[in-house]
């Protein structure tokens, strides 16, 4: 037997037991005639004691062991005189009587402790060592529990987990595809799925009725903190459902996860229309942990010779409670913040509602105290509050004000990671017009159904058509999204037409789906959750990387295995790829 117990298991109740433990040496220190070793495994840390007086030879051998050596120790559980309340085994220690060195280790490139001295790059290169650290490993444990509870809930609701292929065909919509050359079909390529969308819809045609899959998806996009080239979805689809059925089922899943994994009881999720989300928060994924909604004040600002406001399409304010005391420096910081190229505002107007009831603003030249008072009233401001105002074209300004709102939320400590505000954003527009390309794109994807009552608008005013599409948002993060699908091949054909597909192109790309719809497709709809984001939210992480065992860096590289890499000419030839060998 390698071990009788784990390193996280023994307590005072186990006193005097003979045990065998195995694990990694986190630390070994000599004190007088004693050697103390912290032995670590996945479950915790247990202190081992080698005593010179009891066993000189054993102590001599123990004095040689170094950090991260793998050892097996037999000994007796004893009460510690110097207890450590910080660890679960802190009341006991093992007085060793046998030591077996299972493997030696080179000195690790960084300390394997909660506060490590290793930088990001180094830890990524030695990710397998990083994963020995508690904080990283606990994210994987959380991820496992969430995946497990997801399966348990969906299994209980009659969902079948069905695997769909990873080598599929490239589709032009959505993000860029990763492609794989086909050796057996020279000059032809597979693509890796951006999601199993079409397959899950085909499974509905097959009568599977309730499908799910915890599945890797691939998108060749520029990376950010919440994006990886390969990521995991909880992908789901149901037949004979309306939007309401899907929202209820997956609100149920989310509540189940919060309850079983975090012990949190959530109340019913509010619903917000896309239009309201944009109007009140300038975002289709509003962080509703704090209020600070947009207040439009353009009508109150007109006609006072302030050209900037007069010429703007949109003028809106947010109210920062109790911030009238902001200093010049703080206001300058906020102005610099909105003027950063990523945000791109031209400037920031502020109004301080002083505690004495007077107003002080950056536009005092144009507006009287009475004018400013009307703004303050509309914003429900009280003395002591600060109004921050942006103006310009509607959409752009809403986005800028959204960033400013989030920044203020952070500055004021209103984005508490232990608070979870979930909501559904519904009634998304079906289409989005791309000014540059002069054509419509599907806001969600081309299989999303328009709201039946809006179908007549498809011909007259496609931009106004609303979709039966929904997103689940938690704390300003889009955790999941989906839609009720088109299941009529004629309507699907029409949709491809609106999206600028020629009939031939639609047939080559999606003929299989439109044909399948001719054979009795049931009404269906679904949703996909981003598991990585879901886990990050549960763990309070800033980046999804920290809940992925082997993530890629911001240039899409795996620095541990050094991928991607150049291929040998032979392999390129075999794949019929005429690629110049990259000079290393």
**Residues 478, 285: contact at Cβ < 8 Å?**
yes
Supply angle C-alpha 547, 552, 553, rounded to 5: 105
Does 239 bind ligand ASP (CB under 6 A)? Our answer is no
# binding residues, ligand ASP (CB under 6 A): 8
Does 482 bind ligand ASP (CB under 6 A)? Our answer is yes
Among 392, 481, 541, 546, binds ligand ASP (CB under 6 A): 481
- As measured in angstroms, the least distance from the Cβ of 219 to ligand ASP is 9
Nearer to ligand ASP, 90 or 482 (CB): 482
Region near ligand ASP per CB under 6 A, out of 93-101, 221-229, 294-302, 522-530: 522-530
d(CA 164, CA 145): 23
Region near ligand ASP per CB under 6 A, out of 249-257, 330-338, 415-423, 525-533: 525-533
> Could you give the dihedral angle defined by the CA atoms of residues 115, 119, 120 and 126, in that order, rounded to the nearest 10 degrees?
-90
Alpha-carbon separation of residue 175 from 218, 366, 460 (angstroms)? 9, 47, 29
Nearer to ligand ASP, 71 or 205 (CB): 205
Q: Residue 95: which residues within 8 A CB-CB, separation 6 or more?
A: 49, 51, 54, 75, 76, 78
7: its two tokens: 């390193």
Beta strand 210-218 with 160-161: parallel, antiparallel or unpaired?
A: parallel
Q: Strand, coil or helix: what is 29? A: strand
534: its two tokens: 């879901």
- As measured in angstroms, the least distance from the Cβ of 533 to ligand ASP is 12
- As measured in angstroms, the least distance from the Cβ of 421 to ligand ASP is 22
Among 73, 295, 527, 548, binds ligand ASP (CB under 6 A): 527
Region near ligand ASP per CB under 6 A, out of 247-255, 264-272, 479-487, 507-515: 479-487
Give all strands (DSSP E) within 251-395, no chain letters: 271-273, 295-296, 314-320, 349-353, 359-361, 386-392
Does 526 bind ligand ASP (CB under 6 A)? Our answer is yes
Footprint of ligand ASP on 415-434 (CB under 6 A): none
DSSP string spanning 187-247? T-EEE--S-SHHHHHHHHHTT--EEEEEEEEE------TT--SEEEEEEEEEES--HHHHH
Nearer to ligand ASP, 352 or 485 (CB): 485
Nearer to ligand ASP, 211 or 337 (CB): 211
- As measured in angstroms, the least distance from the Cβ of 235 to ligand ASP is 7
Region near ligand ASP per CB under 6 A, out of 86-94, 221-229, 393-401, 526-534: 526-534
DSSP string spanning 405-432? HHHHHHHTT---TT---EEEEE--BSEE
Burial of 418 (0-12, 13-18, 19+ CB in 10 A): exposed
Nearer to ligand ASP, 48 or 205 (CB): 205
445: its two tokens: 């994807």
Nearer to ligand ASP, 118 or 196 (CB): 196
Nearer to ligand ASP, 226 or 321 (CB): 226
Among 22, 324, 498, 528, binds ligand ASP (CB under 6 A): 528
- As measured in angstroms, the least distance from the Cβ of 287 to ligand ASP is 21
Does 195 bind ligand ASP (CB under 6 A)? Our answer is yes
Nearer to ligand ASP, 23 or 482 (CB): 482
- How large is the angle between the packed helices 503-516 and 489-498, nearest 10 degrees? 150
Nearer to ligand ASP, 118 or 481 (CB): 481
Region near ligand ASP per CB under 6 A, out of 93-101, 274-282, 368-376, 477-485: 477-485
**Residues 421, 288: contact at Cβ < 8 Å?**
yes
What is the contact surface with ligand ASP in residues (CB under 6 A)? 195, 197, 481-483, 526-528
């Amino acid at each position: 037997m390698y071990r009788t117990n784990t390193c996280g298991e023994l307590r005072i109740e186990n006193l005097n037991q003979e045990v065998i433990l195995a694990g990694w040496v986190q630390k070994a220190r000599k004190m007088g005639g004693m050697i103390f070793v912290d032995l670590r495994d996945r479950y915790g840390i247990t202190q081992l004691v080698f005593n010179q007086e009891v066993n000189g030879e054993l102590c001599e051998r123990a004095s040689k062991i170094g950090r991260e050596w793998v050892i097996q120790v037999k000994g007796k559980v004893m009460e510690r005189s110097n207890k450590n309340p910080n660890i679960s085994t802190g009341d006991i220690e093992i007085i060793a009587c046998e030591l077996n060195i299972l493997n030696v280790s080179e000195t690790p490139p960084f300390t394997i402790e909660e506060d490590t001295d290793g930088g990001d790059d180094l830890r990524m290169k030695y990710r397998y060592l990083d994963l020995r650290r508690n904080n990283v490993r606990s994210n994987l444990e959380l991820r496992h529990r969430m995946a497990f509870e997801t399966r348990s809930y969906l299994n209980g609701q009659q969902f079948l987990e069905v695997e769909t292929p990873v080598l599929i065909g490239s589709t032009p919509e959505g993000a860029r595809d990763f492609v794989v050359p086909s050796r057996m079909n020279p000059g032809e390529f597979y693509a890796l799925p951006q999601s199993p969308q079409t397959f899950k819809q085909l499974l509905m045609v097959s009568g599977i009725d309730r499908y799910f899959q915890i599945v890797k998806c691939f998108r060749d996009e520029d990376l950010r903190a919440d994006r990886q080239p390969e990521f995991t979805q909880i992908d789901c689809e149901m037949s004979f459902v309306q939007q309401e059925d899907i929202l209820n089922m997956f609100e149920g899943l989310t509540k189940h996860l919060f309850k079983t994994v975090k012990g949190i009881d959530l109340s019913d999720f509010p619903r917000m229309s896309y239009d309201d989300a944009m109007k009140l928060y300038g975002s289709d994924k509003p962080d509703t942990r704090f209020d600070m909604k947009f207040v439009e004040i353009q009508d109150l600002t007109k006609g006072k010779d302030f050209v900037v406001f007069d010429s703007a399409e949109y003028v809106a304010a947010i109210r920062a409670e109790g911030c009238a005391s902001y200093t010049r420096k703080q206001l300058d910081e906020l102005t610099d913040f909105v003027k950063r190229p990523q945000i791109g505002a031209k400037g920031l107007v502020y109004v301080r509602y002083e505690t004495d009831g007077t107003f002080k603003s950056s536009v005092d030249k144009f507006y009287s105290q009475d004018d400013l008072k009307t703004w303050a009233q509309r914003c429900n401001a009280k003395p002591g509050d600060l109004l921050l105002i942006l103006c310009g074209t509607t959409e752009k300004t809403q986005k800028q004000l959204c960033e400013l709102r989030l920044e203020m939320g952070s500055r004021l400590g209103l984005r508490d990671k232990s608070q979870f505000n979930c909501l559904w954003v519904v009634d998304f527009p079906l289409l989005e017009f791309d000014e540059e390309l002069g054509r419509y794109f599907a806001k969600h994807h081309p299989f999303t159904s328009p709201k039946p009552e809006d179908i007549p608008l498809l011909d007259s005013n496609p931009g106004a058509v609303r979709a039966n599409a929904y997103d689940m948002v938690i704390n300003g993060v889009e955790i999941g999204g989906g839609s009720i699908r088109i299941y009529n091949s004629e309507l699907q054909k029409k949709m491809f037409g609106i999206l600028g597909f020629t009939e031939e192109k639609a047939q080559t790309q999606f003929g299989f789906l439109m044909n399948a719809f001719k054979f009795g497709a049931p009404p269906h709809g679904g949703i996909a959750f981003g598991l990585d984001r879901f886990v990050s939210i549960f763990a309070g992480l800033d980046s999804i990387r920290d809940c992925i065992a082997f993530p890629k860096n911001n240039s899409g590289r795996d620095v541990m295995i050094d991928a991607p890499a150049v291929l040998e000419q032979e392999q390129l030839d075999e794949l019929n790829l005429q690629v110049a060998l990259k000079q290393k």
